[in-house]
């Protein structure tokens, strides 16, 4: 069983990774943003699961939404639609 402390920490770490993803996207560093989502944020989100800690909603769904956003920002509408499907 996951302790409440590790649960909260994993959510905060996931949030920090997503902030880095947004930063990569704003710099138009699409490969790095995709890599962070796939290799860092998604495994953490799967571990943490869906939920909210201190009104920060992070989990697999939120990471998936960020993935679609990255593809749309990168002008890859087909990639965004593929991920959304």
Q: What is the pLDDT of residue 10?
A: 57
List the chain pLDDT tens, one digit each, 85 residues: 545 545 555 556 666 888 899 899 999 999 999 999 999 988 888 887 787 766 667 788 888 888 998 988 888 878 888 887 7
Q: What is the pLDDT of residue 49?
A: 79
Contacts 24+ apart (CB under 8 A), 16-19: 17/41, 17/44, 18/58, 18/62, 18/63, 18/66
């Amino acid at each position: 069983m996951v302790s409440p402390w590790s649960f909260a920490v994993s959510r905060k770490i996931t949030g920090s990774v997503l902030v880095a993803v947004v930063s990569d996207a704003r710099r138009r560093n699409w490969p790095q943003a995709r890599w962070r989502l796939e290799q860092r944020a998604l495994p953490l989100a799967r571990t943490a699961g869906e939920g909210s800690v201190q009104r920060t909603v992070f989990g697999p769904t939120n990471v998936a939404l960020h993935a679609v956003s990255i593809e749309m920002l990168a002008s890859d509408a087909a990639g965004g639609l593929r991920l959304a499907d």
